Amino acid sequence: MPSTKNKVPDTRSGMGDPNQPLGIVDTVKSEEFSQGPLSLLVDCVKDGTPVLINVRNSKKLLGKVKAFDRHFNMILENVKEIWTEIPKSKKARPVNKDRFIPKMFLRGDSVVLVLKAPQ
């Protein structure tokens, strides 16, 4: 059995320190997020501002970003997933649907667009 005596916990994401809030997963490179497209996510994590995310399957996610990385992988809380179902019969109308997800990991390769949620 390997010894855990000399191991240092990885606290880059705040997981090793319960007093440190979650945020940018790679804090060493957080300066590169201060400008450009990831700066929106930095602001939303700090302020707790909700975001609207369009994903590849034509669904939308409305929720708060708790942490992210440079690949747009995100940990989201209080997410409302919104989509439209189109019935196969020609007479039926499209139906808007939604569901609530308390915690979610979103893989970045499915992200198409990220916007600050309208107030």
Which pLDDT band, with edges at 50, 70 and 90, does 106 fall under?
very high
Q: What is the CATH number of the domain that holds 72?
A: 2.30.30.100
> Has residue 17 got a pLDDT over 80?
no
Section 99-105 average pLDDT: 96
5: in domain: no
Q: Which residue segment(s) compose the domain that 77 sits in?
A: 27-116
Given this model, what pLDDT does residue 36 score? Answer: 81
11: in domain: no
End-to-end Cα distance, the chain: 54
As a 3-state breakdown, the chain gives helix, strand, coil percent values, each rounded to 5, of 15, 40, 45
36: in domain: yes
Which pLDDT band, with edges at 50, 70 and 90, does 4 fall under?
low
Nearest partner of 62 among 1, 116, 7, judged by Cα: 116
pLDDT tens track for 28-80: 556 677 788 888 898 898 889 999 999 999 999 999 999 988 889 999 999 99
* pTM exceeds 0.85 for this model: no
Query: Domain tally for the chain?
Result: 1
Given this model, what pLDDT does residue 96 score? Answer: 95
pLDDT tens track for 81-101: 999 999 888 888 999 999 999
Show Cβ contacts of residue 62 under 8 Å, excluding neighbours closer than 6 positions: 50, 51, 52, 53, 79, 80, 82, 117
> Has residue 11 got a pLDDT over 80?
no
45: in domain: yes
13: in domain: no
